[in-house]
Amino acid sequence: MSEGIGQRVLRKEDGRFITGKGRYTDDIKQVGQTFAYFVRSPHAHASVNGINIDAALAAPGVIAVLTGADVTADGLGGLPCGWMIHSKDGSEMKQPHHPVLADTKVNYLGEPVAMVIADSALEAKNAAELVEVDWQELDAVVFAGAAQSATAIYPEIANNTCYEWSLGDGDAVEAAMANAAHVTHIEITNNRLIPNAMEPRAALAEYNPGSDELTLHTTSQNPHLTRLILTAFVQIAPEHKLRVIAPDVGGGFGSKIFVYSEETALAWAAKKLGLTIKWTAERSEAFLADAHGRDHVTTADLAMDEAGNFLAFKVKTIANMGAYLSTFASSVPTYLYGTLLAGQYRTPAIYVEVDSVFTNTAPVDAYRGAGRPEATYLLERIVTKAAVELGRDPADLRRQNFIGKDQFPYETPVALTYDIGDYEASLDKALDLADYAGFGARKEAAAAKGKLRGIGLSCYIEACGLAPSQVAGALGAGVGLWESGEVRVNPTGSISVLTGSHSHGQGHETTFAQLIADKLGVPVDDVDVVHGDTGKLDFGLGTYGSRSLAVGGSALVNAADKVIEKGRLIAAHLLRTDPENIEFEAPVYQMKNSNESKTFQEIAFAAYVNHDYPENLEPGLAEKAFYDPGNFTYPAGTHICEVEIDPETGVTEIVQFVAVDDFGNLINPMIVEGQVHGGIAQGIGQAMLEQAVYDDSGQLVTGSYMDYCMPRADDLPTFVVGMTCTPCTHNPLGAKGCGEAGAIGSPPAVINAILNAVGETDMNMPATPERVWALVQRSATKAA
Amino acid sequence: MELNLNVNGRNRSVTCRANATLVDVLREQLNLTGAHVGCDTSQCGACTVHLNGDAVKACTILAAQCDGQAILTIEGLSSVDGHHPMQAAFKNCHALQCGFCTPGMIMSAIDLVQKNDDLTEAQIREQLEGNLCRCTGYQNIAAAVAEGASAMKEAGQ
């Protein structure tokens, strides 16, 4: 079939987006809607001695002004963090109260303290300027590395430390280090990023006092989780009276997983005041108050024997949590980071310590890759540095230490068991596509025109498909991490597929339709995918961690299998035979040893227009499944970057970028390649352009697109994308997930290439022309 | 203030604040929500529309400046019998993911192609600097603009 599994089917959802008919939250307009604007802290750290709302209330169009004191008076719960981490001494992580609106103290720049509700957005914004807040500025703690020795932000949290976590066998690592022939040491930072989905966060809350129903349209990657938190923790409305809808969502990259103050305040205010209220973030607000990503400071040592075999890896990381624990923040530098430090290698002993600290900055949480880019960046930088120190080819040193393809399942020293992989296959394919062997000649040619040319590798692995619920629960996850799916066959044979996964650019409406069309033998156009609405779906855990196909897709496969089995019963009844005499070869139910058959469409019709069903056969043809994975999935691959640097200016051009990925089986290669492109673009952004910069007082220096350097079309090369395939062994699709790999694999490849060009081993991201120029000068000074 | 705008071929009279931007009027008063607002510094290009045949960022021009003039938005591109060749090229090349930047990107691309012949990939990438996309890495967008340019040429556009 030309549109089944593995085909490059054009996206079903594109029709509405290319015509301007997408329906994003801010596009939705309700009769009588009012508008909110948030009053935010202009300080990183300050006491709120009082708020005078009189002038704002008297301003034109203003309906209400609500403050943190109102939140406190109404007894709203705080915004919770869903993952409990224990310190190495067994104590629970420290979690400061995260208020919906700050009452007596603000802890980061941009933290909301009040909301103004007015008839128009402009009136709300103008009146917000009339809210008088009596601030008393306090010293700010800004940088992760300085947090533990600074004055405590929260009196009850010593050393501003959330937890001191560790994983692995520290004694084994120390013993191996002591006997190593060579130890490579590295000190690196992982630069703080701001996600910047192109659609800013927005929400529209409507309350119907007659039915006590509250409806929240919001920019969410997981509307059921939003509903659960607003219900069970913040206690705004009972779950059956709260409907959360995430309509078209303009990108997320992690930042729209979390439950934030603004959306929560909007839902609370709508119910409290009986209003319909809309809020759409300005981009400046997104910079200040969306959860940021990364922000690690790390030292590490890699021990090797004389032959270059990795013996031990020791890591100490300080991770910045920002001012509060965002929804999944605590898991990112621990179970999504420390567990990935084995990479693709057989390193027998690994020990990692992570101290997560509070600072007076915006909360930091999962951003595309979430922990895995930080692990990969560290590991692939230190492995390349080791190769340089040992005088080894970086590809050869990697190959020597790879887990062999016959060694799976492979249990790492950091709590994961990789089910399958073939790391040499992806390395070899990447070396071939990059013409690695011909690099020397290209370097010479570049030198002849005054350019420095360098090549860099990165062999990444990630753990996706979160997660086996039992494992996740044992590690501290507050929820199970399965996914739900439903296949509803209509009487005429068209199909509605309902999924708990959420698409905000990933193309589920096409991929999932392909999947079900292939299973049941119906045209893709006859399958529609429904997602993102708690009013339509039982429950779902949403989209993050490259889990949608591996977990959500697997649930749909199981639901479709149930539909096929139900159809078999109907076919057997219609053909007056036993179900075991019926074979299904999409789209036909065939009676064995007979010419008699029924099409899937005939069965669908018969399922609803039954007149003579036996007692044990229920009418209808709709089945649900909940799928809880047996393990994580482990996408892996090799990225190779080649750069040319102008030594006079430090301007670096990526002249070639090759990515070879093993995502297991692919449903739609066109969509997968698109995910890879986008991920690499964000990875190159991190490596060369992007950094969130706070000054010493906690003011955000990079607070707009004028200051925060987003990748633009002419900053990026044309990517060469290749695939290898070892199908995942434990889900019915053999799929691993592809959403984050680009952002995980690419940053170290870029930096390794720049360092290779200059002949250095240490630099920090982003590799701006100024930094690269300084690196060139440093290298030249040493050479002289 | 009272304005008369020709929007997608229709004459529309609107009453708006003197400081209303064009994108405010399109989205809030004319319910043309295809032009999106992705930033507040005129950097992202998600609001791009055509004013008298030129691409403009609708967040950076006052509606009052458009009085009596012709505006084309993404909604005005498609006819009943099909998509504009550039729209078709964006779908065909998988040049969009979340779709938020897409209307602005398409409107910029059409303007670019109408004013330049035989664009190279490097020229396309340079000329799209005013439109941010966070999803695609731009590779398929550049390919779509090239394909759309050929299709527009064939169609005599």
Task: Report the CATH number that the domain containing residue A592 is assigned in CATH.
Answer: 3.30.365.10
Q: How many CB pairs under 8 A join A and B?
A: 180
Contact between A200 and B38 using a beta-carbon 8 Å cutoff: yes
Distances (CA, A) of A358 to A155, A315, A320, A566: 12, 20, 6, 54
Closest CA to A660 of A428, A489, A504, A487: A428
What CATH topology corresponds to B2-76?
Ubiquitin-like (UB roll) (3.10.20)
Looking at residue A261, which CATH number applies to its domain?
A: 3.90.1170.50
Q: Is residue A322 part of a domain?
A: no
Query: To the nearest whole percent, how much of chain B has pLDDT over 70?
Result: 99
Encoding tokens for residue A144? 């992760």
Asked whether A347 and A313 are in contact (CB, 8 A), the reply is yes
**Parts of chain B belonging to CATH 1.10.150.120:** 85-154
Residue with tokens 């630099």: A763
Residue B42: closest C-alpha in chain A? A705
Specify the pairing of strand A296-304 against strand A310-322.
antiparallel
Distance from A744 to chain B by nearest Cα, in Å?
15
For residue B80, the model assigns a pLDDT of: 67
Boundary residue ending a domain (A289, A314, A344):
A289
Contact between A251 and B90 using a beta-carbon 8 Å cutoff: no
Measured between CB atoms, which of A677, A682, A714 is closest to B140? A677
Encoding tokens for residue A579? 């179900």
| pLDDT per position as a tens digit, A525-557 | 999 999 999 999 989 999 998 899 999 999 999
Residues A130 and A240 in one domain: yes
**Which of the residues B94, B102, B112 would you substitute to probe the A interface, choosing the one with the greatest number of A C-beta atoms within 10 Å?**
B94
Q: Is residue A147 part of a domain?
A: no
Measured between CB atoms, which of B27, B100, B128 is closest to A198? B100
**Which of the residues A21, A25, A28, A198 would you substitute to probe the B interface, choosing the one with the greatest number of B C-beta atoms within 10 Å?**
A198
Residues A600 and A635 in one domain: no
Residue A17: closest C-alpha in chain B? B99
Cross-strand partners of A723: A661
Q: What letters, b where the CB count within 10 A reaches 16 and e where it falls short, cover A630-639?
A: ebbbbbbbbb
Q: Is residue A105 part of a domain?
A: yes
Position A341 pLDDT exceeds 90: yes
Q: Is residue A246 part of a domain?
A: yes
Distance from A593 to chain B by nearest Cα, in Å?
45
Mean pLDDT across chain A: 96
| Cα distance between residue A243 and residue A259, in whole Å | 15
Asked whether A668 and A510 are in contact (CB, 8 A), the reply is yes
Mean pLDDT of A344-363: 98
- B100 contact A CB<8A: yes
Query: To the nearest whole percent, how much of chain B has pLDDT over 90?
Result: 95
Specify the pairing of strand A213-218 against strand A242-245.
parallel
Q: Is residue A364 part of a domain?
A: no
| Cα distance between residue A199 and residue A674, in whole Å | 19
| Cα distance between residue A317 and residue A144, in whole Å | 10
Contact between A11 and B122 using a beta-carbon 8 Å cutoff: no
Specify the pairing of strand A719-724 against strand A652-662.
parallel
DSSP-derived 3-state class of residue A712: coil
Mean pLDDT of A585-599: 96
Measured between CB atoms, which of B74, B121, B141 is closest to A19? B74
Distances (CA, A) of B91 to A517, A521, A528: 21, 25, 18
DSSP A158: G
Boundary residue ending a domain (A581, A605, A627):
A627
Position B52 pLDDT exceeds 80: yes
**Which residues on chain A are in Cβ contact (under 8 Å) with B37?**
26, 200, 280
Distance from B67 to chain A by nearest Cα, in Å?
22
Torsion sign over Cα A81, A166, A761, A782: positive
Residues A438 and A388 in one domain: yes
Residues A386 and A398 in one domain: yes
Encoding tokens for residue A59? 């301003």
Contact between A706 and B129 using a beta-carbon 8 Å cutoff: no
**Which residues on chain A are in Cβ contact (under 8 Å) with B72?**
none
Contact between A19 and B83 using a beta-carbon 8 Å cutoff: yes
Residues A608 and A685 in one domain: no
User: Which residues make Cβ contacts (< 8 Å) with residue A459, sequence separation at least 6?
Assistant: A343, A344, A380, A398, A402, A423, A426, A427, A636, A637, A638
Plot region of A170 (φ>0 → left; ψ -120 to 50 → alpha; else → beta): alpha
Mean pLDDT of A479-497: 94
| pLDDT per position as a tens digit, A43-53 | 999 999 999 99
Encoding tokens for residue A21? 């008919």
**Strand ranges in A544-694 using DSSP code E only, listed in sequence order:** 582-585, 588-591, 597-599, 622-627, 636-645, 652-662
For residue A478, the model assigns a pLDDT of: 82
Asked whether A622 and A490 are in contact (CB, 8 A), the reply is no
Instruction: Give percent helix, percent strand, percent coil of chain B, each to the nearest 5.
Output: 40, 15, 45
The values of phi and psi at residue A582, to 5°, are -110, 130
Residues A116 and A54 in one domain: yes
| Cα distance between residue A118 and residue B126, in whole Å | 42
**Which residues on chain A are in Cβ contact (under 8 Å) with B92?**
10
Contact between B75 and A21 using a beta-carbon 8 Å cutoff: yes
Position A702 pLDDT exceeds 70: yes
Closest CA to A679 of B39, B139, B143, B106: B139
| Cα distance between residue A162 and residue A471, in whole Å | 23
For residue A481, the model assigns a pLDDT of: 86
Q: Is residue A166 part of a domain?
A: no
Boundary residue ending a domain (A627, A656, A672):
A627
Contact between A678 and B97 using a beta-carbon 8 Å cutoff: yes
Mean pLDDT of A52-80: 97
For residue A97, the model assigns a pLDDT of: 97
| Cα distance between residue A584 and residue A571, in whole Å | 10
Q: How many residues does chain A have?
A: 784
**Parts of chain B belonging to CATH 3.10.20.30:** 2-76
For residue A190, the model assigns a pLDDT of: 98
Mean pLDDT of A217-243: 95
- B151 contact A CB<8A: no
Contact between A251 and B134 using a beta-carbon 8 Å cutoff: yes
- B15 contact A CB<8A: no
Torsion sign over Cα B148, B149, B153, B156: positive
**Which of the residues B15, B60, B100, B124 would you substitute to probe the A interface, choosing the one with the greatest number of A C-beta atoms within 10 Å?**
B100
Position A688 pLDDT exceeds 80: yes
**Which residues on chain A are in Cβ contact (under 8 Å) with B96?**
14, 17-18
| pLDDT per position as a tens digit, A499-518 | 999 999 999 999 999 999 99
CB atoms near residue A103 (< 10 Å): 18
pTM of the model: 0.97
**Which amino acid does the sequence have at B135?**
C
Confidence band for A477, pLDDT divided at 50, 70 and 90: confident
| Cα distance between residue A674 and residue B93, in whole Å | 10
Measured between CB atoms, which of B41, B88, B98 is closest to A250? B98
DSSP string across A286-341: HHHHS-BB--EEEEEEEEE-TT--EEEEEEEEEEEEESS--TTGGGTTTTTTGGGT
Contact between A251 and B37 using a beta-carbon 8 Å cutoff: no
Total domains present in chain A:
3
Position B132 pLDDT exceeds 90: yes
Residues A636 and A595 in one domain: no
A206: enclosing H helix or E strand: strand A202-208
Domain residues for the domain of A776 are 373-466+631-783
User: Which residues make Cβ contacts (< 8 Å) with residue B143, sequence separation at least 6?
Assistant: B93, B95
Closest CA to A329 of A700, A550, A79, A104: A79
Residues A90 and A222 in one domain: yes
**Which residues on chain B are in Cβ contact (under 8 Å) with A10?**
91-92, 94
For residue B123, the model assigns a pLDDT of: 98
CB atoms near residue A476 (< 10 Å): 17
User: Which residues make Cβ contacts (< 8 Å) with residue A307, sequence separation at least 6?
Assistant: A400
| pLDDT per position as a tens digit, B74-131 | 999 987 678 999 999 999 999 999 999 999 999 999 999 999 999 999 999 999 999 9
- B97 contact A CB<8A: yes
Closest CA to A452 of A300, A729, A645, A200: A645
Plot region of A52 (φ>0 → left; ψ -120 to 50 → alpha; else → beta): beta
For residue A538, the model assigns a pLDDT of: 86
Position A1 pLDDT exceeds 60: no
- B35 contact A CB<8A: yes
**Which of the residues B98, B107, B127 would you substitute to probe the A interface, choosing the one with the greatest number of A C-beta atoms within 10 Å?**
B98
**Which residues on chain A are in Cβ contact (under 8 Å) with B124?**
713
**Which residues on chain A are in Cβ contact (under 8 Å) with B25?**
none
ipTM for the assembly:
0.98
Domain B85-154 in CATH 2.60.120.380: no
Measured between CB atoms, which of A21, A29, A680 is closest to B137? A680
Contact between A250 and B78 using a beta-carbon 8 Å cutoff: no
Residues A284 and A213 in one domain: yes
DSSP A194: -
Residues A667 and A565 in one domain: no
DSSP-derived 3-state class of residue A361: coil
Confidence band for A351, pLDDT divided at 50, 70 and 90: very high
Residues A591 and A724 in one domain: no
Residues A131 and A280 in one domain: yes
Asked whether A56 and A116 are in contact (CB, 8 A), the reply is yes
Specify the pairing of strand A349-358 against strand A310-322.
parallel
**Which of the residues B31, B59, B83, B134 would you substitute to probe the A interface, choosing the one with the greatest number of A C-beta atoms within 10 Å?**
B134
